[in-house]
Amino acid sequence: MTDEVVVTDYVHGDVRTERDKLGAVGATVRSVEAESTADLLDSVEDARVLLTTRVEITADVYAAFPSLEAVIRYGSGYDNVDVDAATDYGVAVVNVPEYCSEEVATHTIGLILACDRRIVQFDREVHRGTWDPEGQSGMTRLSEKTLGIVGFGTIGRLVAERAKSFGVDLLVHSRSATQSDLDAFDAESVSFEDLLARSDVVTVHTALSDRTRHLFDRAAFETMRDGAILVNTSRGGVVDQDALVDALAADELALAGLDVLAEEPPADDEPLLDRDDVVLTPHAAWYSETATDEVQRLATEEAVRVVRGERPRNVVNPAALD
């Protein structure tokens, strides 16, 4: 059996961590810096483990690499990995779910404050030569607002922890939150529709799946309060961007703060780029130098477990190993 671990692509500085840790257990590491599935298939004959970031890992990959035991994603999401096909082939899909939870929660609060206090809009006006402290209408005290959190995993709870210091009321929509989770933040569990109807600010912390794709569609925006704010630091596909543009244009929403988009980077003609009522960051919520080191280390340690014949800690398709 091959003990080759292939790094398909990465965003950290180098693969010395991978070579050091995996070399210590007798594995070889090859970095191919593939830009597509075809690049990967053309450059790799077989592998026991794939460490990947953005390359699409499809059924063709599993069929081509009969020794493959695990696909490990540098990150929490695994949208680029065909999980169902992996399960069919007995390949474990592994992620690193909490390496940047603090960063994403803090970035979320930053976007909430930027939108609520119109910080970006004021900045643009000052740079254009306008000095008008009352130039942004509709602003009220944050402590008078209700914050709706969609998804109450680690990041959702960290957002709640930070948000409570501003005195907001908290609503939560989650399939997994326990009563003790809610009680810890004096939060109320509600339906998705109720959360939309009652929240002044809605922040999204749910994974992208068939169930959540375009969860925020035209009907959702029509249900939201007029003048509400939407913040998304989860996955771009959770929001129907055409519907969002229409809702902003119709003043159904006041602002949106988005760290993620359906297409990244966006096309030059993406309508959101031209809107002053949208605050955009480049999928940067996860980033810090600490998080970058952490995700590389944790993903590599999962690969070490596979090479040693151990079960990885964060398997998203446990049926593949049963």
What residue numbers bound the domain in which 167 lies? 101-280
Tens digits of residue pLDDT in 169-193: 999 999 999 999 999 999 999 999 9
Q: State whether 10 and 119 are in the same domain.
A: no
Task: Tell me the C-alpha distance between 48 and 27, whole Å.
Answer: 10
The answer on 162 and 108 residing in a single domain is yes
Dump pLDDT digits (tens) for 282-308.
Answer: 999 999 999 999 999 999 999 999 999
Q: Is 264 a catalytic residue?
A: yes
At residue 308, the 3 state secondary structure works out as coil
Reported confidence tier of residue 2, pLDDT bands at 50, 70, 90: low
How many domains does the chain contain in total?
2
At residue 153 the predicted structure's pLDDT band, cuts being 50, 70 and 90, is very high
Query: 245-269 in b/e burial notation, b at 16+ Cβ within 10 A?
Result: bbbbeeebbbbbbbbbbbeeebeee
The answer to whether residues 34 and 77 belong to one domain is yes
Out of 33, 45, 161, 264, the active site residue is 264
Strand ranges (DSSP E) for 100-246? 146-150, 169-173, 188-189, 201-204, 228-232
Percent of the chain with pLDDT over 90: 94
Same domain? 122 vs 143: yes
- On whether both 60 and 111 belong to a single domain, the answer is no
Both 160 and 269 in a single domain?
yes
Per-residue confidence at 1, pLDDT binned at 50, 70, 90?
very low
**Domain identity same for 13 and 144:** no
Q: Where is pLDDT greater, at 209 or 232?
A: 232
CATH number at residue 150: 3.40.50.720
* pLDDT at residue 204 greater than cutoff 60: yes
The answer to whether residues 183 and 274 belong to one domain is yes
**Can 107 be counted among the known catalytic residues?**
no
Q: Based on the domain organization, do 124 and 217 belong to the same domain?
A: yes
Average per-residue pLDDT for the chain: 96
Q: Is there a single domain that holds both residue 274 and residue 213?
A: yes
Q: What is the pLDDT of residue 103?
A: 98
Based on the domain organization, do 16 and 77 belong to the same domain?
A: yes
185 and 36, same structural domain?
A: no
pLDDT band at 73 (very low <50, low <70, confident <90, very high): very high
Selecting among 235, 252, 302, 305, the annotated active-site residue is 235
